[in-house]
């Protein structure tokens, strides 16, 4: 049963990735043809920003691997400070901003992860606002047409 759920999850992520690659192509075509007044254009940007933000967050969240001490010492050649990690344990358990430090001066989470997640969140909020505005303006247009007839 768990294999089926895992397979379905991976299949959904692959489908979402393919959709987003297609959406990026369509967004750039839409820029040339001035399609930003259509809701689907904003929905595509929303999907791409959510996918990119999720991928960046997952990359940062799993940047230390399963064994942080081993990752610090063997992969990144940094001193692992267990006293520092135990003193700042709650900092490493937050969902945002991500941090996974080997010591006081070296973070396993790349510096681009947190700004990318924040920017993608802002873009997603702007897309939702634009979709709401387009939906409201279309609803008002339909209402005006009904009042005229």
pLDDT tens digit string along 33-48?
Answer: 877 778 888 999 999 9
pTM of the model: 0.83
Helix, strand, coil fractions of the chain, as percent rounded to 5: 75, 5, 25
The per-residue pLDDT of the chain, averaged, comes to: 89
| Angle formed by the axes of helices 113-148 and 39-61, nearest 10° | 160
Q: What is the pLDDT of residue 86?
A: 87
Q: In the structure, what pLDDT confidence band is assigned to residue 139 with cuts at 50, 70 and 90?
A: confident
25: Cα within 13 Å, side-chain hemisphere: 5
Q: What is the pLDDT of residue 140?
A: 75
Give percent above pLDDT 90 in the chain.
Answer: 56
76: Cα within 13 Å, side-chain hemisphere: 22
| Residues in contact with 95: Cβ distance below 8 Å, sequence separation at least 6, in sequence order | none
pLDDT tens digit string along 63-119?
Answer: 888 888 899 999 889 999 889 988 888 888 888 999 999 998 999 999 999 999 999
């Amino acid at each position: 049963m768990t294999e089926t759920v895992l397979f379905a999850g991976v299949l959904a992520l692959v489908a979402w990735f393919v959709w987003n690659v297609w959406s990026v192509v369509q967004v750039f075509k839409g820029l040339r043809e001035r399609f930003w007044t259509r809701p689907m254009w904003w929905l595509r940007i929303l999907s791409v920003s959510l996918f990119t933000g999720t991928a960046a967050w997952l990359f940062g969240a799993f940047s230390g691997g399963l064994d942080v001490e081993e990752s610090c010492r063997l992969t990144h050649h940094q001193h692992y400070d267990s006293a520092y990690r135990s003193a700042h344990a709650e900092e490493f358990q937050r969902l945002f901003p991500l941090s996974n430090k080997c010591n006081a001066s070296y973070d396993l989470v790349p510096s681009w992860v947190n700004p990318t997640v924040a920017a993608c969140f802002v873009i997603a909020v702007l897309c939702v606002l634009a979709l709401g505005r387009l939906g409201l303006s279309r609803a008002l247009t339909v209402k005006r047409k009904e009042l005229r007839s």
